[in-house]
Chains A and B, each alone.
Chain A
Amino acid sequence: MSIRGKLLDFKQRLQDRKMYSIVIVVIAAVAMWGIYQYKHAAHLRQELDNQYNRAFYDMVGYVQNVDTLLIKALIASTTEGIAANLQEAWRQANLAQTNLGQLPVSQEVLANTSKFLTQVGDFAYALNRQNIAGKPLTDEQYKTLEKLHGFAVSLNKSLNELQNQLATGRLRWNELANKGTKLFSKTSAEMPKEQFENIDKTFQEYPTLIYDGPFSDHMVTTEPKGITGEEVNIEQAKQSVIKFFGADKVKSVDYVEEHSDNTNTIKTYSYRVTFKNAPEDQTANIEVTRKGGHVIWMLYNRPVQGENIDMNKAKEAGKKFLESRGYKNMVDTYYLKEDNTAIINYAYKQDDVIIYPDLIKVKVALDDGEIIGFESKGYLSSHRKREIPEPKISMEEARSKINPKAKILSSGLAIIPTEYKTEIFTYEFKGKLNNSDFLVYINAETGKEENILIIIDTPNGVLTM
C-alpha cells in the first residue's frame, strides 16, 4: 500500500465515529498533559527565580548596611559606639555572606567577594572583642577599617548596578544558572558572569594578611611547630609505617603516588597497608610527613563486631599505643563511642599543665582493642617544649572569679587554644551548676574568664560544647 493509500485508509477510518472520538480524546489528553507539565515547570522555575531574587536583594541590603555601619564605626568617638556598630557590622556581613552562597553563580566567580565579607565580619568581630576588653582601636586598625569601608562602598556600587539590570529585566537568574544551555553560553550568560567577576576583581588586590582574625589567610599557612627532624625518603618513611603498625601484623606497604605539585604546608608520603590477619581488600591508609617521618593520620576501615572491652580498657590501650610510638605524657581528655569504636582525645601534659592544642585522636576498635585510627594534626602543628611561666594569680584568686553558686569539683592548670590560633595559660575548673557540668577557664595571668564549656556526659561519650 502506498503512502497515499494509507492516508486515504486512515481518513476513511476517521470517518468512523468511534475512531474519531478516540483520536480526539487522545489528542486532548496529550495536550492537557503537556499544558500541565509546562505550567508546572514554569511555576517551579518562577519559584526558584524568586528564591534567587530574595537571596540577592537580601544580600544587597546587608552589604549596604555593612557599608553604613563601618562608616558609623569610623565616625563614632566612644568605645561603646564603635563596639555597637562593629558588632552589628559583623552580624550583617555574616548574613550577606550566607545569602551570597545561595546565588546561582559559580563559586570561583564569587570566591573573593565571599572572602571579603567573611573578613569584614571577622575583623569587626575581633575589634569588637578588643573594644569590650576596653582597648581602643590602634591607628593601624583604624586605617584597615577605612580601607575595608572603601571596598564595601565599591561592592555596594557594583551590586546596585547589577540590581538595576535585574530589576529592568535585562538579566535573568536562569541565564546565570543554566550554564549548560549553549544558546546563552556565548552571549547573555557571559555578560552577567562578567559583571560578577568585575565585582570580584576589585577584591583581588585586597591584601590577604591584614588582621589576626580566625579566618585570615596566614592561618591556613601556619608553620607546623611539631614537625621536627630530618627529611626522610620514601623507603625510610615506609619503615616508620611498618613500625607504627607492628612488623608482625603488616603484610605489605605500598607507596601511593603523590602529585608533584603538592604545595601543602605539610608535605607527606601516602601508603596503603594490608595485614596478615585480614582479607586483601581490607586496607589501611596512612600518611607520613616527609620531614621527620611522623605519622599524621591513619585510617583502617575494618568492620568491628561487638563490644568486648570497656572504655577504661580502651583508654589504656590507646595510651599504651601512644607510649610505644614515642608519644609520652599523653592524657586522655574526651571520648566518643560510635559503632563499637571509641575515638579518644589525648592531650600532652607538661609539668602538670594539660596542653590542649597538642591533641592526638586515637580510634580504638572495641572488639579487641586494636588501634584503627590515628590523627595527630593538632599535635604536629603545635607541639613543642614550652616555657610555662609561674601563674601570676593564685588558684584561690582564680576560684573567686567563678559564680559562687557553682560547685567546683576539680581544678588544674591548662593551656587552651584560642580561635586566633594563639594559646592562653589558664586555670581549669571543673564544676557543677544546676545539674549541668561545666569547665571554666580563668586566665592565669590576668584573671580574665576566657572560656566556658558545658560538658555533656552521655552513654556514648563525654563531649563539650
Chain B
Amino acid sequence: MTSSLSKRTLMLAVAALCAIGIVGGVAYAASLKKGLKVYVIPKNLGNSYFTTADSVKTDGALAALGTLGEKGTETSGTAATPASQLPVIQSSIAKGANALIISADDPLALCPTLKSAAAKGVTVVTYDSDAPTCRSIYVENAPAQSIGESEVVDMAKELGAAGGQVAIVSAAASATNQNTWIGYMKTELKKYPKLDLVSTVYGNDDPTTATQVTQGLLQKYPKLKGIISPTTVGILAAAEVIDKAKDIGKVLLTGLGTPLEMKSYIENGTSPDVILWNPARTGYIAAYAAVELASKAITDATGQTFTAGSFGKETIGPDGTIDPGGTTTFTKANVNQFHF
C-alpha cells in the first residue's frame, strides 16, 4: 500500500513538476510581450548597409521582430543627419512606440528627444552608432580595436615583406567611429615598421569627394602601395579610382566594405581583402535586446543575459554594451558565400 501510495505520490509529483515546467516554459515565453510597436531607425533610408542590417530578407532586425511576433517598422529620414532623423524619432514616439532601435546620427542632438522617450516608458536601444548617455543597451558592430587592427594586419599581408607607403581614406574628419578605428590602426602600425602611413584624407562619405581625395593621394604619392578605407562608401570610391587609373596591383586596397558591393573589386585584385562584421547580426541582436527590455525580461545591468535566436546567448557588458563578436575577412575564396 505504502509503496503504491508513494508510487502514486511520485507520479503526481512528476506530473506536477511537468506541469510547472510547462507553465514555467509558457510563462517564460509569455514574459516576452507580443505585438509591441518597435521602430527601427537607421541613420538614413536608402543606405544599403542599413538595408542589410534591418530587412527581413537578410535576417536583420525586422526578421527578428517578426519571429518574436512584434510589429516592426523601419523608418528614418533620407539624409544621414540629425535634422532628418529627429522628426522621425518624434513621430515614432507619437505613434505609440514601445521600443526604438536607433543608429544615432549625432548623439548630442538626439539625446534630449531620446531621454524624453525613455521618460515616457519607451525602450531605447542603439545599434551601429551609439548615443551613450541616453539609451539602455548599445549593440556594437564589432569591438573597435579588432576592426582597427584587422585592417592593418590585412594591409601588411597584402603588401608582404617589402611594405611601403600607405594612406587612409576616411569619412568625415569628425566621425567618432572612424577616428577611434584610425587610432587603433596607428597603434597596430607600430608593429609593422615597413608600413609607412603618409596621409589620412577625408572623403566625407560622398562618392565625389572620396574620388577626388583618392585621386589626389595617387598624384601626391606616386610611390603609394596601399590604401586603407574604413568606410563602405570611401572604399567603393577608392576602388573605382584605382580601377580607372589602371593601377590594379600597383596600389592595393583594403578596409571596410560589404562583400556584395566589393565583389568585383575583390575578384579583379583591386582589393584582395575586405573586412566587415555582419550588419544583419547587429540588427538582429538589437531587436532581441529591445524586446527583452520592453518586456522587462531583462534590465540593462552588466551581466544580464538573454538568448538572441540563432546567435545564441548574449551578455550585457560594461556601459550596457553588447559585443556580438569579431569581424569577417572577405576574399576571392569566400566572397560568393555572402549576400549582403
- The answer to whether A binds B is no
